[in-house]
Structure 1
Amino acid sequence: MSRQAIGLIAGSNQFPILFAKAARAKGLRVVAVAHLGETVPELAAEVDEITWIHLGQLGKLLKAFRKAGVTRAVMCGGVTKTRIFSDVRPDLRALFLLRHLRHMADDGILRTVAQYMADQGVTIMASHELLPELLADGALHSRRGPSVDELDDARVGWTVAEQLGRLDIGQCVVVRGKAVVAVEAIEGTDACIARGGKLAGEKAVVVKRCKPTQDLRFDLPSVGRRTVEVMAESGCSCLVVESGKTLVFDREPMLSLADEKGICVMAWTEGDDKK
């Protein structure tokens, strides 16, 4: 009996590889469509089939899935958002969808693509369903707890990040002395943290949380060891993420580095900012 196929629309970093390994361990045949210049080449060794495309080649993506008999797929990993200004090669299918978008916000694009694919017979699923262990939970915490000032800044950041997400702009804010010093837009989390740390000088608090209207099938907030590295380089002292709605990569190395650098890490749920 042939194994059931699962489609993998792969972006950058390690999430596509982690998903592929988990899916194959569960007996699924992984059919990947990877993005040139974004997806790591190592993914090819972890999947059953792989097709490489340029960003925007929606027709080629669908053709690969249809040929492999894929009816379910996931989106794993992001893409460098600034590439939309210089390195997108939309085919006719993608151009048709783009003309119907009101603006180029993340959720709007992804929901439009997901609905189009569903209309073509490929249902987009939530990628973390196969990897629930990657979600932040109450066990995600460093040895050092927050100071009084860090708690105050975290509460401000938690509220601001919610409003930022409500506008579908970004997921991360940096706060120092109850003042917002940086918000994430198209540049991404690492660049936002670096800019915020430079402006704040030291001891800034980084808050990253899910958008209130987030479609959990894609673009969940994510952090990892690299996040803590950037915070340490930028002088940021505390990281707050949303429990149950944030992907955490390299959990143990991330917390180990946080402890080494004296950085506080916490996972909050709704209401923790009121405590």
Structure 2
Amino acid sequence: MEVIGLIAGDGNFPIILSDGLREKGKKVIAVGLENITSPALEKNVERLHWIKVGQLGRLIKIFKKEGISRVVMAGKVSKTFMFKDIRPDLRAIALYMRLKDRKDDSLLLGIVSELEKEGIRVEEPTRYVPHLLAEKGVITKRKPKKEELKDIEFGWPIAKEMGRLDIGQTVVVKNMAVLSVEAIEGTDAAIKRAGELGRGGIVVIKVAKPKQDMRFDAPVIGLNTIRTLKEAKAAALCIEAGKTILLEKEDMIKLADKEKICIIGM
């Protein structure tokens, strides 16, 4: 049986991905991040090792000891951990000092490069769960209203530019005015901030970067996203088809329909 390594971050994606890998006959050896990865993942994998954020050398040692040459990444790791709970080892410090900046792509590409130097290839997780990628069109009962489509058309190129600059993946708009842009705080916080400003009827646009590396940091939405939209009294969510990962799709759509939130893939 082929063995695949899984670097697991926050949320349900690592659990859902491990299920998909096992359904394809793969044995999964996971490495979780302390205080981030759900301990529930342990039930879904052959073995679950634990490291602290920043223990790059230990991560590599685990995979080499397990004889793993192919890995996937799944789950979010907030960059806020860089400022409060990171324990870098010597290998991570050396990488950090070589980086040209501290943007997401720079950090993640640096980690990928270190893994590949050791003969550990990082693959796209959606290769094993392609059914999770969003399709084009409206996936909810409610279709977008004319003014919501205007906000989407207005916000889409702005979101793409924010992605090109590697600032964030999400822009929130109302009446063709930008209420918030996602940065280091993450999508949910950006939506909540816009909800306070917009007082209902906000439109959320979440896209992939123009040159999105699907091995890591692909846009993801799930049930918690819809709960945040509900809290912010959002009217619509526009996502990029073929690039956005949908988790808990049935439950997500059910809640969106109940709250009359439109979700559209473009």
Take 2:245 and 2:137, find their aligned partners in 1: how far apart are those partners? 13
- From 31, 36, 39, give the equivalent of 1:38: 36
Deviations 1:135-155 (A, max 9, x none): 001365111111111000011
Aligned residues of 1:201 and 1:235 also touching (Cα < 8 A): yes
Take 1:213 and 1:139, find their aligned partners in 2: how far apart are those partners? 22
Report deviation, 1:80.
2.3
Aligned residues: 266
Take 1:80 and 1:216, find their aligned partners in 2: how far apart are those partners? 18
Equivalent in the alignment of 1:51: 49
Take 1:228 and 1:15, find their aligned partners in 2: how far apart are those partners? 16
Take 1:107 and 1:80, find their aligned partners in 2: how far apart are those partners? 13
1:65 partnered with 2:63: yes
Any residues of structure 2 matched to 1:148-227 within 5 Å, and which? 148-227=146-225
Equivalent in the alignment of 2:96: 98
Take 1:24 and 1:233, find their aligned partners in 2: how far apart are those partners? 36
- From 83, 98, 109, give the equivalent of 1:85: 83
Q: Report the identity percentage.
A: 43
Deviations 1:144-200 (A, max 9, x none): 111111000011111110000000010000000100010000011100000011111
Aligned residues of 1:38 and 1:80 also touching (Cα < 8 A): no
Equivalent in the alignment of 2:139: 141
Aligned residues of 1:161 and 1:173 also touching (Cα < 8 A): yes
Report deviation, 1:243.
0.3
TM-score, with length taken from structure 2: 0.98
Report the 3-state secondary structure (helix = DSSP H, G, I; strand = E; otherwise coil) of the residue aligned with 2:257. Answer: helix
Structure 2 gaps of 5+ residues are none
Take 1:17 and 1:140, find their aligned partners in 2: how far apart are those partners? 27
Poorly superposed stretches of 4+, deviation over 2 Å: none
Take 1:200 and 1:206, find their aligned partners in 2: how far apart are those partners? 12
Equivalent in the alignment of 2:232: 234
Report deviation, 1:202.
1.2
- Which deviates the most, 167-176 or 20-29? 20-29
Take 2:120 and 2:31, find their aligned partners in 1: how far apart are those partners? 13
CA RMSD of aligned residues (A): 0.9
Aligned residues of 1:17 and 1:43 also touching (Cα < 8 A): yes
140 and 64 in structure 1: CA distance in 2 versus 1, 3 angstrom threshold: farther
Report the 3-state secondary structure (helix = DSSP H, G, I; strand = E; otherwise coil) of the residue aligned with 1:193. Answer: helix
Structure 1 gaps of 5+ residues are 269-275
Aligned residues of 2:138 and 2:262 also touching (Cα < 8 A): no
